[in-house]
Amino acid sequence: MDSKTAAAGKMERPSTISRRLLLGGAATAAVALLQSGFGQTIQTAITQADAARGGVRQPGPLPSTLGSRSPFEQPAKLPSDTSSRTPLQNLYGSITPSDLHYERHHSGVPALDPAKYELLIHGMVDNPLVFSLSDLKKFPAVSRICFLECSGNFRGSKDTLTPQEICGLTSQSEWTGVLLSTLLRETGLRNGASWLLAEGGDAALMTRSIPVDKALDDAMIVYAQNGEAIRPEQGYPVRLLLPGWEGNCNIKWLRRLELCDQPLMTREETSKYTYPVKDNKIRQFSFEMDARSIITFPSFPQQVEKGWIEIRGLAWSGRGKIESVEVSTNNGKSWQAATLATPVLSKAHTVFRYLWQWDGNETVILSRATDETGYLQPSLQQLAAARGKDMGGYHLNPITAWQIRKTGEVLFVPEKWK
């Protein structure tokens, strides 16, 4: 090697960082973790000049009374006049942070004083009782992880929709409270008591009729969410939790349970939360949420690059555990089994993953879930064939498709069924 070549090689070699520079000093170099455009984490060195410009090693905030997110992380719900949607595409794992849990209101969020809170259980019971919040907390506590989902959780009108816009009215938390069956043992049930009316403390007095069988099964009266008091938007200080059942039955700001021998036919179960089926009939009391899945990566507006891609998403069922999730990378021509993240819980969001090598050609990717009852998530066309084309907007759980263009652009694939 001649002197010119050696000199050129020396000039092209990146500047080195000494051990002293890395490990010591106030304005030393550092190693930062950066994320590439397609989600890969890489390491890069911060030079001494970068450190001086960026203020590296400057003292940061001291310990605080309440933690906060990094200013570089800004997930947000998508609000409307009556609801706000969880950013499913921005989450990791199956638990939704409490402040990102979806909301659905019928008259806004009431401000209720927990010291004045009371839950009345009356009607067809032997011993009508009123429970304060402190009374409820004296009973043996139980915790379970499960999802909540609005029965109107589907949008599919255009190709520029995110998972948040398509089905962001579902979230998952760890809920803590007392089993409703425990309270009903205190009050006793009279013969013939087969339904209960659950009433909320909001301005709309949201009410739903609930079968006693569900109340005696896994229903809970919850006062905590993800290790803290339940958020006001989720029913503070107390809400009804009916795992696997449509969200509007899970009455927030719960104030009253009346035991009776028939459904009360309230507004929310007659003119609302019902939907047409074939032969000019209306389906009522459609409580359980059917199996569903959605790919959250890749999805709009994300970009991908040719090569290995981990397809990932969420699957859930109100009827029990997710048995399997299949992924298609060729618009449904063939299906492959995805890996389910453990533990797979009953009536809970389950994360699925599938490693795929994209060849750079345009294609469509889909997912479909099967639950432990054998129910297979249908296509939108299958739903329309079973229920009729005028099937309303409730309990729609169709297979969701994403188009991947040669450019790496990802778009939702909208479908028409009317």
pLDDT tens digits for range 298-320: 999 999 999 999 999 999 999 99
Task: Give the other-Cβ count within 10 Å of 142's Cβ.
Answer: 14
Helix boundaries (H) for 326-414: 380-387
What is residue 15's predicted lDDT score, i.e. its pLDDT? Answer: 52
Are 281 and 266 in contact, with CB atoms under 8 Å apart? no
The pTM for the full model equals: 0.87
What is residue 345's predicted lDDT score, i.e. its pLDDT? Answer: 98
Do residues 172 and 255 both lie within one domain? yes
Do residues 95 and 240 both lie within one domain? yes
**Token pair listed for 124:** 């067809």
What is residue 298's predicted lDDT score, i.e. its pLDDT? Answer: 98
What is residue 23's predicted lDDT score, i.e. its pLDDT? Answer: 54
Are 229 and 223 in contact, with CB atoms under 8 Å apart? yes
Query: Which residues of the chain, if any, have pLDDT below 70?
Result: 1-56
How far apart are alpha carbons 138 and 124 in whole angstroms?
24
What domain range is 330 assigned to?
292-412
User: 48 in a domain, yes or no?
Assistant: no
What is residue 43's predicted lDDT score, i.e. its pLDDT? Answer: 53
Do residues 268 and 297 both lie within one domain? no
What is residue 333's predicted lDDT score, i.e. its pLDDT? Answer: 98
Q: Is 115 helix (H, G, I), strand (E, B) or coil?
A: helix
Inter-CA distances, 93 with 97, 128, 352, 374, 410, Å: 11, 42, 10, 25, 22
For the chain, the maximum distance between any two Cα atoms, rounded to a whole number of angstroms, is: 102
**Token pair listed for 281:** 């009939």
Do residues 163 and 227 both lie within one domain? yes
User: 163 in a domain, yes or no?
Assistant: yes
What is residue 16's predicted lDDT score, i.e. its pLDDT? Answer: 58
Instruction: Count structural domains, the chain.
Output: 2
What is residue 90's predicted lDDT score, i.e. its pLDDT? Answer: 97
**Token pair listed for 230:** 């339940």
User: 10 in a domain, yes or no?
Assistant: no
Among 243, 273, 303, the domain boundary falls at 273
User: 67 in a domain, yes or no?
Assistant: no
Instruction: Report the CATH number at residue 362.
Output: 2.60.40.650
User: 27 in a domain, yes or no?
Assistant: no
How far apart are alpha carbons 20 and 7 in whole angstroms?
26
Q: DSSP class of residue 169?
A: S
What is residue 364's predicted lDDT score, i.e. its pLDDT? Answer: 98
What is residue 292's predicted lDDT score, i.e. its pLDDT? Answer: 98
Do residues 176 and 255 both lie within one domain? yes
